Structure formats: structure tokens, C-alpha cells
Structure 1
Amino acid sequence: MTMKITRCLHTALLVSDLERSEQFYGSVLGLEKVDRVLRFPGAWYEVAGFQIHLIVADAFTIELNNPEKWGRNQHIAFSVANLDAAKEQLLAHNCPTQVSASGRAALFTQDPDGNVIELGEV
């Protein structure tokens, strides 16, 4: 018998400041927070049945392997309805942005801890 993966459930991201991260994922990206009783500091968000688990870690560093091209680093990708509106939202909140080097309709940003996020219009 062969293992068959049927869907992706969640990804976990380390964050250093939960309040700051909740503002980014909830207010800037507009993700829906999931009510959870946690035994450790963190927060869960959900989009289209996929969850993002923010887990507080006191000491960690995110180092980009390729700081010139954020898409060539570890990242999470989301589809957006309007890439221009997404970029305006990010810039209005002073979030860094980088247009995809591939030429496709996508851009990258980073959360307050440096986790890379791709937004694409697909």
C-alpha cells in the first residue's frame, strides 16, 4: 500500500511578538482567526480550509538564503483577487514588497519577523 496525501492542513510559522504578528496576519492580510485553546503562546488563522499556525518562539532568526530574490527562499503563498489592491494594502501598512523576478503577477512581502509571503493573482 502506498501513502496518498489528500490535502494540506496547515503550516506553522515562528513569531517573536504575538500581538504584532496578529496585527499583520489578521489586519494587514485579512486572514480569519480560528478560536483555539492553546497550551502555549500562539494563534491560528485560516483561509479556504488551510491553517497558518503562529507559534511564539523567544529566540530565533530568519536568514534569507537569497535576499535579492525573496521567492527563492522558504515562503508561504496565497492567491489574491487583485494584486494591485494587495500591494496598496501592504504599502499602506509600511510592509516591504518585492515584485516577482519571474515576471508573473506575484509579489512578495515579509511578516514582522521576516517570514516570506508570496501573493499571486491566479
Structure 2
Amino acid sequence: MVMQLTQFLHAAIVVSDLEKSEQFYGTVLGLKKIDRVLKFPGAWYEIGSFQIHLIADSAPVSETFAEKWGRNRHLAFSVENIETAKATLIQAGCEIQMSASGRPALFVKDPDGNIIELGEA
């Protein structure tokens, strides 16, 4: 008997400042906030059938990052236009790093340093 995975449901991200993280994920990235049933502090967002669960903790785990952000753990999303995404992030005051591969993709850190990749579909 072989276990068979059928769908990727969500990724949980630990954040230290829920309000700043909700601003980043909800306003800057434009993700749809959805109802959550858990009682501890956090917020849930949805993109297609995938969810991001923000978990508030005053002392999130920190780690050393590779110089090229894409070589670290990260979430990746597709965007229609990488230049529009880049302009939106810069306007929001986010530091970005373009993909070193030359493909139309960039990396951005959320307020806690979690890395998000945005790549042109």
C-alpha cells in the first residue's frame, strides 16, 4: 500500500507582528482574507485552492539566509506581469531581489523575513 498525496492545502508562516503581516499579504500582495476557525492569533489568506496561514508569535524562528534569496525556503506564486509586481512592491517600500537566473521572477521578504517568489506565468 502506498500513501497518495492528492492536494497541497496550505503553508503556515510564523509572524511576529500580525498587523504588519496582514498589510503585506492582504494589501501589498492582494491576497483574499478568509475566515479562520482557530482561537490563537493569526490570519488566513487564499489564492485559488491554496491557503496561507499566518501564525502570530512574538518570537518567530530566525535563520541565516543565503545571499541569493531564491536559494532559501520560500513560497512561490505566479503573476501576470513581473514589472507590475515589481513596481507595486517598490511603491510599498519593499526590498526586492530579481532572480539571478534571468527569468522574469523576483523575491521579496515579508515583515518577518519570510521569502516570497513572484514569477511571471
TM-score, length basis structure 2: 0.96
- Aligned residue for 1:114? 113
Tell me the distance in 2 between the aligned counterparts of 1:64 and 1:13.
Answer: 17
C-alpha deviation, 1:57, in angstroms: 1.0
C-alpha deviation, 1:61, in angstroms: 4.0
Q: Does the CA contact (< 8 Å) of 1:32 and 1:46 recur in 2?
A: yes
TM-score, length basis structure 1: 0.95
Q: Identify which range, 88-97 or 54-63, moves more after superposition.
A: 54-63
- Structure 1: which 4+ aligned runs deviate by more than 2 Å? 60-65
Which consecutive unaligned segments of at least 5 residues does structure 2 have?
none
Superposed, 1:57-68 pairs within 5 Å as 57-66=57-66, 68=67
- Aligned residue for 1:91? 90
Aligned partner of 1:100: which letter? Answer: S
Q: How many residues align?
A: 121
Aligned pair 1:40/2:40, yes or no?
yes
Q: Does the CA contact (< 8 Å) of 1:16 and 1:59 recur in 2?
A: yes
Matched-pair identity in %: 63
Q: Does the CA contact (< 8 Å) of 1:64 and 1:70 recur in 2?
A: no
- Aligned residue for 1:82? 81
Q: Identify which range, 32-41 or 92-101, moves more after superposition.
A: 32-41
Tell me the distance in 1 between the aligned counterparts of 2:106 and 2:10.
Answer: 22
**How large is the RMSD of aligned CA atoms in angstroms?**
1.0
C-alpha deviation, 1:62, in angstroms: 2.7
Aligned partner of 1:113: which letter? Answer: D
